[in-house]
Structure 1
Amino acid sequence: MTEGPEAKGLSLSRRASLGAGGALVLGGLLAGCTGRSDRSANGTNGSTDSGTRATDSATDSTTPGGAGGSYSVSMAPMGEVTFDGVPKRIFTRLTHLAGMAFALGRGTDVTAMHSPEYYDALWNQFTPRLDGVSVDWSGLYSSWNPSKEQLYELDNDVHLADPAGVASLHGWTTDDLDEIRTNVGPWFGNYYSDRHATPPDEWADEYRYYGLWEMFEKVAQVFGENARYEALASVHTRLRETIADGLPPSGRRPTATMALPRDLDEIYVYKVTTPGFLTAHTRPLGPAEAFGGDVASGDTVDVEGLLEADPDVLFGLGGMHPETDMRRVRRRLREDPVGKRLSAVENDRVYAQGARYQGPILNLFQLEMTAKQLYPDQFGEWPRYTKGPYPELPADEQLFDRERVADVVNGSFRR
C-alpha cells in the first residue's frame, strides 16, 4: 500500500521543536524487519526491561493537556523535545511504538505503521482477551521506508520514529529530518535498542539504549498519560515477580531459539538472550540460547544448522498470525528427514509466537505465553495452538489481570 489516510486539521506540533540539548512465516510469515546483525552491537548505555524508570530527565513545564504552557520530554537520540500541546495525529514506523500508542488508548490516532494489514491482523489475535478493547490499523500508510512528501500529506503532530533509523534509509538526509521536524512535527523514537545495534556514526555520541518499558514511560509522558503508564507498569511488575518466583534453577531450563524461515534452507534465527527489547518476553524467563557465538541474532541457517544447535524449544515468530498454518509448520518439520530429528520436533515443543516488535500489551501476553511454553510444570500447560485468537485461559491459569489491562486501555481504570 502506498497511500495513507487523508490529513485533516491543523497540526498541533507545527510549533513543537527540539530543545537545545516482518510476508514470511515458517513458510508464510512476513519477514519484515530483518537484515541487521547484532555482531557489532555497542552503545553508550545499557537497559533492562524491568519496568523501572529510565534515567534520562523528563521535565514538564505544565501538565500535558492542561491549561496553557508547553512541556518537554527527553529521550535519546533526540534529546529534549518540547511540545506546546498534546499530539493528536500519530505517525509510527515500527510496531513497538504503535503498540505504545495503542496501550495509551491512542490506537485510533495512529495514521501510519510498518505493514499495517499484517500487524492489524496479528494485534487482533490478542484484543479478544481484553473486554471492550479493539484496534483497526487496516488501510494505514505503510511506513517502513516513508517518503518526505507523504509525511507532509499525513500532517502528523508527532512522528514516533527514531530519526537515527530514518537517517539510515535511502533518500533521507539530516536536512530532510530537520525539515519535517520544523514544518510538520517532531521525531520521538528509539530504534537501535531493539538489539543494541550500532547507530549511524553521526548519532553515536548521543545514543543510549532503553528497555521496552523504559521507552513506554517516555512515550506516555509525550501524551500526558503517566497514570496509564503507571497502572500498566504495575501489572508488568507483578507479572515479572510471579515469573521470577516460579523459575526453575538454571540447570533445569531448556535451550531455545526463535525462528523465522522462508524455507528449511533459509531459516532466520533470533536469539532468546540477545540484549534489547525484541527479547523482552524471553530474557526474563532465563532459557539457554541454543546457538553459540558463531551465529548472530538475525543470521540465517539451513535445517542442518538448526539441528546442529538442536533447541529443546523452537518458537515460531508470527505463528499466531491468522494466515499462518501451525499444523503445516509442524508437519513440514516432522516430514523433513533432518527436521524430524530436532529435539523440539521429537518432543512436540514447536510453539507459535506473536511479534518481536511488541508494545506493552503484547509483551504482557507474550511473557505469560512464553512462561507456559518453557515451563509448563511451573506456570501451567500452554494449550496446543493451531489457529485463532490467543487462547482463553481459565482465570486461575492467567498470570496477569486482563480486566485491569482492558480498563487501563479504555481509560476506565481507577488509579
Structure 2
Amino acid sequence: MAGDDTSPDRPTRRNSRKHERAGSRRGSEQSERTRRDYLKYSGAVLGGTLLAGCTGNSNGEAAETTTESETRTTTETATQTPEEDTSYSVSMAPVGEVTFDAPPESWIAYDGGYADMGVALGKCDSMTGIGGAGRYYTYYYDELPGVSIDRDTIENNQLSDAGMSKEIFYELDNEVHVMDPEMLKNWFGWKQEDVDEITNNVAPFVGNLNFRREDEWHNYRYYTLYEAFEKVAELFQEQDRYEAFETLHDNFIANIQRQLPTADERPNVLLVYAGSDRPEEFSPYRLNDKGTSKKQWNDLGVGDALAGTGIEGLSTTDRGKIDYETMLEIDPDVIMLRAHERKSATEFRETVLEFMRSHPVAKELSAVQNGRVYRGGYLFQGPIHNLFLTERGAKQLYPDVFGEVTGDAELFDRQRVADIVTGEF
C-alpha cells in the first residue's frame, strides 16, 4: 500500500463531496437553529416563566393569589442554598486563559496527537471528528482491552473534507476546539475575525501546534508532549488520569534509558518523509528541534545525521528536498522514513527497502546495505501513541537489547494503559 499521507506536514484539502456537504450545511443553517442556540432560547423562555410566577397551567386552573405566591417565593428564597461555582480556567499559548463552567461534553481536535490525548483521558465517546483522519492512527488501541474509537464518526466528520471552512465548525457545534487557531490562520487562510467568530458563536480554542519547532510564524511558547497533555487534562478535569499516565511514562522511559548503549555506540538517524513505495526524493526533518513528533528519537538518545550539514528541516516556508546523492554524502547509520504507518514492519521491508536495495545509488547507502531503513513514526503523536512508538523505536535502533522490531516483545504493560483509559486505576 502506498503512503497514506499526501503531504509531509499538513493534509491536502480533499474536495470529493466538499461542495455537496458545504451546500448541505448552508441549507441546514438556514432552516434550523443550532443546538446551542436552541438551548439558550429554551432557557430564556423557561426562566421568564419562572420569574412570572406561573400565572396559569394547561388545565385553565386559577392562578395562585398574590399573597400566596409572595409568601412561597419569600420562603423559598430564604431557604435556598446558593449554587456552588464549578467554573475553572485553562491557560495555554497562544489563546491564553479560557474559562469553562463544566468539562466539555463534545470536542474535536485538529490532529491525531491531541485526539490521542483525549482518548487517554477517557473521552473517546465525546469526540465528534478530527482535522484529518488519514493521520490519526488508531490501530494501537486494538492492543488495549476495552479501548476503542468510532472510526466511522471520525472519518465522516473531517474538517479537511470541508476545506477547514467555518461552516463545519457550526455544523459540528462542539463545546471546545482542541487546536491552535494560529495554525488555521497560517495554513488555511483564516483571519483573526474568523477565529473570533467561531469562538463567540460556537466554542473556544485550546491548543498549541507543537509537533515541530521550525515555523517562523510560531513565535510563542511551545509545549512538550506531556506539558500539552497536562493542559488537556485540565481542560477535561481529568488530572488523576494524567498523573497516572505521567507516572507510567516516566517509569517506562527510565527503564529503557537504563539499558541504552553508551553515547558513542548509538547510531545517528536521518528522519525523512516520502509517501511512495519507490521513493526518489525526500523531505528532511531535524531531530534537534524538540518537536513532539521526534520525542521517541530524543528519548532514545540518537544523533541527528543532518547535524552540521546546513540542511534545514521541513517547515511552512522551507519545502526543500534531498535525493539519494545527498544521502550518500551523509551516509547515516539509520534511515527513518515517514508516511508508511499503515504497513507492518514486514510489509515495509518488502516494498520500500527492497526498492532501495535495487536502486543504483540507494543501494550504496550503509543503512540500506545493513537493512536499517524503518518506518519513521507519526507526525502527530499523543501519550498512547508515544508508548508504542518508543517501544518500536527501541527495537529498531537497539535490537540486541530490546528484540527485533518484527518480534512480539512488549516493553510496557498494555493492561495498565487500558485501565487508566477506562478509569480502573
Q: Could you say which TM-score interval applies, normalised by the shorter chain?
A: 0.7 to 0.9
1:304 equivalent in alignment to 2:325: yes
Distance 2:95 2:222 in 1: 13
The 1:301/1:351 distance shift into structure 2, 3 A limit, reads same
SS at match of 1:267: strand
1:361 partnered with 2:384: yes
Structure 1 partner of 2:150? 136
Asked whether the equivalents of residues 356 and 363 of structure 2 are also in contact (C-alpha less than 8 Å), the reply is: yes
Question: Quick check: 1:99 aligned with 2:122?
Answer: no
1:225 and 2:200 are equivalent in the alignment: no
Shift of 1:199: 5.4
Separation in 2 of the partners of 1:356 and 1:170? 19
Residue number in structure 2 paired with 1:399: 411
Counterpart secondary structure, 2:296: coil
Aligned-residue offset at 1:221: 0.8
Change in 2 beyond 3 A, CA 1:181/1:210? same
Give the distance between the partners of 2:157 and 2:261, measured in 1 at CA.
45
* CA deviation vs aligned residue, 1:306-328 (integer Å, no higher than 9, x gap): 22222211222243314994111
1:155 Cα offset (Å): 0.2
Give the Å deviation of 1:137.
Answer: 2.8
- String of CA shifts for 1:7-30, please: whole Å, max 9, x gaps: xxxxxxxxxxxxxxxxxx8x5341
Alignment of 1:12-411 (within 5 A): 28-34=3-9, 68-116=85-133, 118-119=134-135, 122-124=137-139, 126-138=140-152, 139-144=155-160, 145-191=163-209, 193-198=210-215, 200=217, 204=219, 207-263=220-276, 264-292=279-307, 293-298=309-314, 299-322=320-343, 325-326=347-348, 327-383=350-406, 393=408, 397-411=409-423
Decide whether aligned partners of structure 1 residues 353 and 195 sit closer, same or farther in structure 2, where only a CA change above 3 A counts. closer
- Distance in 1, matches of 2:114 and 2:88, equals 20
Distance (whole Å) between structure 1 residues aligned to residue 281 and residue 89 of structure 2: 46
Equivalent pair of 1:161/1:190 in contact (CA under 8 Å): yes
Number of aligned residue pairs: give it: 340
Query: Are the counterparts in 1 of residues 98 and 204 from structure 2 also a CA contact under 8 Å?
Result: yes
Which residue identity lines up with residue 404 of structure 1 in the other structure? R
Q: Report if the CA contact (8 A) 2:169-2:198 is conserved.
A: yes
TM-score (norm 2): 0.75
CA contact (8 A) 2:95 2:206 kept: yes
Report the structure number with the largest CA radius of gyration. 2
State how far apart, in whole Å, the 1-side matches of 2:216 and 2:95 are.
Answer: 13
Q: Counterpart of 1:135 in 2: which secondary structure?
A: coil
CA contact (8 A) 2:274 2:339 kept: no
Inter-CA distance 67–344: structure 2 relative to 1 (3 Å threshold): farther
- What amino acid is the match of 2:120? A
C-alpha displacement at 1:89, in angstroms?
Answer: 1.2
Answer 1 or 2: which has greater helix percent: 2
Percentage of matched positions with identical amino acids: 39
Deviations 1:172-213 (A, max 9, x none): 11111111111111100001x22223453xx74xx2011001
Moved more, 261-270 or 169-178: 261-270
Deviates more, 1:137-146 or 1:105-114: 137-146
Tell me the CA shift for residue 34 of structure 1.
2.3
Check conservation: 1:28, 1:323, Cα contact below 8 A. no
Q: Cα RMSD between the aligned structures?
A: 2.3
Letter in 2 for 1:159: H
> What are the superposed Cα offsets for residues 23-65 of structure 1, whole Å, 9 maximum, x if unpaired?
xx8x534134527xxxxxxxxxxxxxxxxxxxxxxxxxxxxxx
Q: Contact 1:255 / 1:312 at 8 angstroms: preserved in 2?
A: yes
Q: CA deviation at 1:252?
A: 0.7
Counterpart Cα distance in 2 of 1:33 and 1:261: 8
C-alpha separation in 1, matches of 2:98 and 2:288: 32
1:107 partner SS: coil
Taking the aligned partners of 2:336 and 2:280, their CA distance within structure 1 comes to 17
What whole-Å deviation, never above 9, does each CA across 1:124-154 have from its counterpart, x for those lacking one? Answer: 1x12221222112332322245111111111
SS at match of 2:271: strand
Runs of 5+ consecutive residues of structure 1 not aligned to the other structure = 1-24, 36-65, 384-390
Quickly say closer, same or farther: Cα 1:185–1:248, change in 2 above 3 A. same
- Answer whether contact 1:107 1:135 (CA < 8 A) is retained: yes
Deviates most, 246-255 or 309-318: 309-318
> Is contact 1:255–1:313 with CA below 8 Å preserved after alignment?
yes
Q: What's the secondary structure of 2:167's corresponding residue?
A: helix
**1:17 match:** none
Provide the C-alpha distance between the structure 2 equivalents of 1:317 and 1:97, rounded to a whole number of angstroms: 19
Pair 1:220–1:32, CA change in 2 (3 A): farther
Structure 1: how far apart are the matches of 2:352 and 2:84? 55
Q: Are the structure 2 counterparts of residues 196 and 272 from structure 1 closer, same or farther at C-alpha, using a change threshold of 3 Å? A: closer
On the 8 A contact 1:273/1:282 being kept in 2, the answer is: no
Give the structure-1-normalised TM-score. Answer: 0.76
| Matches of 2:131 and 2:293, distance apart in 1 | 16
User: Using a 3 Å threshold, how does the CA distance of structure 1 residues 354 and 262 change in structure 2: closer, same or farther?
Assistant: closer
How much has 1:372 moved relative to structure 2? 1.6
